[in-house]
Structure 1
Amino acid sequence: MREFAADRTNWGPQMRYFSQGHRCTAYSARGYTPSDVPPSKDVYTYIRFYTDALVVLDHLKIEQAHLVGPSMGSYSSLQVGLNTKRALALTFAGEGSGSDLKIWETFARSATRTTSSSRPSAPTVLPRRRARRRAGLRSRTTRANGFLGRAGAARFARLGQLHSFIGRPSIHTLMGAIRKVSTPASIICGDDDDDCIEPSLFLKRHLLASGFAMVRKSGHVLYLEERALFNEIVERFIALVEAGRWLPRDPRSMSEALRSS
């Protein structure tokens, strides 16, 4: 499942790697060509985005799947985990940008404003400089640059971005529901991805069957910046889940403050 500023092409390295042992599916969400671009904003809500994933699974006759998503794709994956039993396992990469309740509304408006400066139905190319800034890339980080130059400048219609935050609640308002999720979860975050470190820790605290991996010197699109390491983390996680070895955390190992919160 893809992120806010990208489409299915960004999953190229992962599709090639994981298809050696699994059936892999990547798709462009509504509003992101070549998927349909409906004109009405009423069909672009976070609920639509995660239920579209279920429609894809139904179409492919897949009852359950390992869901892997960065950024906005992580949020949609989380919603699948919160509301259905369709996920075998959940991988969240760079989850929770703007989740701080103090800035949530401002963040959503800002993200929307980014895509509303020109005709919404027109295709757009994400500027390469914005892709690099969002990724937290520096001149020292060259591994992702070539791929970002091709797939990172993804083409999509603006409507998919413009309306993607409609009605979307911050993950901090979902703590009660998150605590009830027993699906195995892997949380991955780059240590330069400032907006996602605290939300990743929030998920780690409240998802009982979760593990957290921090990737050094990596930013928001760590699945491109550190492709081999990202693939290794996800592959090991899936292998442990399929072997029945990814177990929920023993509550006795938690701090008293966390147990009583």
Structure 2
Amino acid sequence: MKLYFEEYGRGYPIIFVHEFESDLHSWEAQIRYFSRSYRCIAYNARGYPPSDAPDSPAAYGWEIAVHDIDAVMRGLSISRAHVVGSSMGAYAALLFGLWYREGASAIVAAGAGLGSPASDRENWSRNATALARTLAARGIDAMAEKMAGHSTRIRLKHKDPKGWQDFAERLKQHSARGMSNTLLQCQAVRPSLYDFRDQFSQMKAPVLLAVGDEDDPCLDTSLMLKSTIPSAGIWVCPNTGHAINLEEPAAFNVQVERFFSTVERGGWGHFDQLRQSVSRHENSTAAGLTFDGALP
């Protein structure tokens, strides 16, 4: 299985994991920005040429998508990296943080959680299966414009018409077979992120959850993840839908850079860690005062 990747810049590595309706090109604004000081690697998931797009649905799966992050890192001799994912890629990035705990030094999950709320589960699975069958029968050219006009893209179309047009044109170049298999084996059948709450409560990696305030299913799921993952913070971008890094690239880059900087200097932690740190400091101060008072 061959996965196509592009690499820019030097420094500590960042792995970018794309969403379902796009590919590595969706990270262009982030790679241009972060490659000034980081080693940026973006790859196309299996099913997205020029990565291999196997005919067999058995070659796809949500678990496989998580393991592919590790495969990319191993192939590039990277043992540890920051991981940034969007939507489908955010799902994989979060589970990578669970399954490969030593591999992720920090995780950014943007627009995580489509299909996760209990109220959405049935419709999510049914719609993903129906779209997969339509793609297989009619091809990507017939479906690209409709997919690009979905409610999750309305904000992008209004904010950045040129960016939306580029997104729609790239969509036409995708593999209908690859996307259909991805829908059937990843999207339609993947567990809800709520199913991993117990595991997420033990997660050690620092996490930044990025979500638009108009991305309702992902907003609810991000709030759940914020309350569950000990070292998670949440950034809610106003007047923004699902494609947060495309809709507001400058704001997204600032928030992610601030997160990475805080993690790298050891300042990112959850409340219990901070409270313990303060308690240790106070105890040390108290011990010092007692000792000083005992001097002759």
TM over 0.5: yes
Provide Cα deviations, 1:6-41, integer angstroms capped at 9, x if missing partner.
111111111111100100011110011111011111
Match for residue 117 of structure 1? 134
Question: What SS does the corresponding residue of 1:127 show, helix, strand or coil?
Answer: helix
Which one of the candidate residues 61, 70, 90 is aligned to 1:74?
90
Instruction: Summarize the alignment of residues 20-169 of structure 1 with structure 2, pairs less than 5 Å apart.
Output: 20-85=36-101, 86-119=103-136, 124=141, 127-128=144-145, 130-132=147-149, 133-137=151-155, 141-142=158-159, 144-153=160-169, 154=171, 155-162=173-180, 163=184, 164-165=186-187, 167-169=189-191
Q: Paired residues, what number? A: 251
Compared CA separation, residues 230 and 146, structure 1 to 2 (3 A): same
Q: What is the root-mean-square deviation of aligned Cα atoms in Å?
A: 2.2
Which one of the candidate residues 20, 24, 32 is aligned to 1:8?
24
TM-score, length-normalised on structure 1? 0.89
Question: What SS does the corresponding residue of 2:42 show, helix, strand or coil?
Answer: coil
Provide Cα deviations, 1:206-251, integer angstroms capped at 9, x if missing partner.
0100101110000000101101000000000001111111112328
Which one of the candidate residues 158, 179, 191 is aligned to 2:213?
191
Compared CA separation, residues 148 and 125, structure 1 to 2 (3 A): farther
Decide which structure has greater helix share.
2
Instruction: Summarize the alignment of residues 225-236 of structure 1 with structure 2, pairs less than 5 Å apart.
Output: 225-236=247-258
- Percent identity among equivalent residues? 33
Work out the CA distance in 2 between the residues paired with 1:33 and 1:97: 24
TM-score, length-normalised on structure 2? 0.79
Asked if 1:214 corresponds to 2:230, the answer is no
For structure 2, the residue ranges without an aligned partner over 5 or more in a row are: 1-16, 276-296
Specify the structure having the higher radius of gyration (Cα): 2
Question: What SS does the corresponding residue of 2:210 show, helix, strand or coil?
Answer: strand
For structure 1, the residue ranges without an aligned partner over 5 or more in a row are: 254-261
Higher relative CO (Cα under 8 Å, sequence separation at least 6) belongs to: 1
Work out the CA distance in 1 between the residues paired with 2:137 and 2:69: 23
Shift of residue 116 of structure 1?
A: 2.0
